[in-house]
Amino acid sequence: MRLSCWVVLTYLAFGPALGHAQQTALVMLGTGTPNADPDRSGPAVAVVRAGRSYLIDAGPGVVRRAAAAAALHADSALQPRNLRTLFLTHLHSDHTVGLPDLILSAWTLERDVPLEVYGPPGTQAMVDHLLAAYAADIRNRIDGLEPANPTGYQVRVHEIAPGLIFEDGNVTVTAFAVPHGDWEVAFGYRFQSIDRSIVISGDTRASDTVVEACRGCDLLVHEVYSAERFRTRPPAWQAYHAKAHTSTTELADVASRAAPKQLLLYHQLFWGTTDEGLIVEIRAAGYKGPIRSAADLTRY
């Protein structure tokens, strides 16, 4: 039987053609900010491939959002017991307040291996304090009547620096430094698999390191705020956001230079505008490539 041209090209580029379950996907568990938007859970993203999930950030509600995504997309990699690997961009509370949920709820729901956490300096101290805070809960579950395994609540912390920080049979992960307000250390991440390159900015003002990490990547996931609505913000908040985050105008420049095959907005600060409004602003600033504004539980 003669192979189609598409299959031949796929084989030459990547090896044997990948089935749906083997393809690398990005799932938006939460696209929100500290604002209490009931439609947008706290920031959390999952890269999924070949039955494995790799979480980036742990905003509020991360385990329930992952369970919802597992059901919606029929993907067991996102079931709580399979949430085993986490990468933190930085230690702001909106990106980490779901960490005790990820440690303890996923364990209660039958994860039986330690959670692997990669993050900036300070991650180990945060985890140590969380485990101390929940020591009574842990002891009660292990020593009491409730069936509980003795390993799933444990955490292995890897405090990282820029560069290659993780690789397995599915993905390699490279961390790169980004500027985010007063944080001394904050990271974005590039995930590379056999079929896809995904770059996640984390929280950052406009940065050349994002451009360098992408350079034609398949998917650039980038935070953004409305440049138009920024002008309505109080001066103190304007000073903060200009130093800590990326405007639609600035993102148009970053994305034009990075040239991703798809730009995906997340961690959106709307201040009264809409997904469509953000895209209009980015287009008006000169970005011509494919662009979407993400919602919770969507898959790309």
CATH of domain 19-293: 3.60.15.10
Check residue 21 and give its pLDDT.
60
In the numeric block, the tokens 């938006």 are attached to: 28
Q: How far is CA 141 from the centre of its chain?
A: 30
Count CA atoms closer than 13 A to 81's CA, side-chain side. Answer: 8
Check residue 57 and give its pLDDT.
98
Q: Give me 154's structure tokens.
A: 């444990």
Secondary structure percentages of the chain, helix, strand, coil, to 5:
35, 25, 40
Collect the ranges in the chain with pLDDT lower than 50.
1-17
Check residue 8 and give its pLDDT.
31
d(CA 122, CA 127): 9
Check residue 258 and give its pLDDT.
98
d(CA 24, CA 192): 9
> In the chain, what are the domain boundaries?
19-293
Q: pLDDT tens-digit profile of 232-262?
A: 999 999 999 999 999 999 999 999 999 999 9
Check residue 108 and give its pLDDT.
97
Q: How far is CA 205 from the centre of its chain?
A: 17
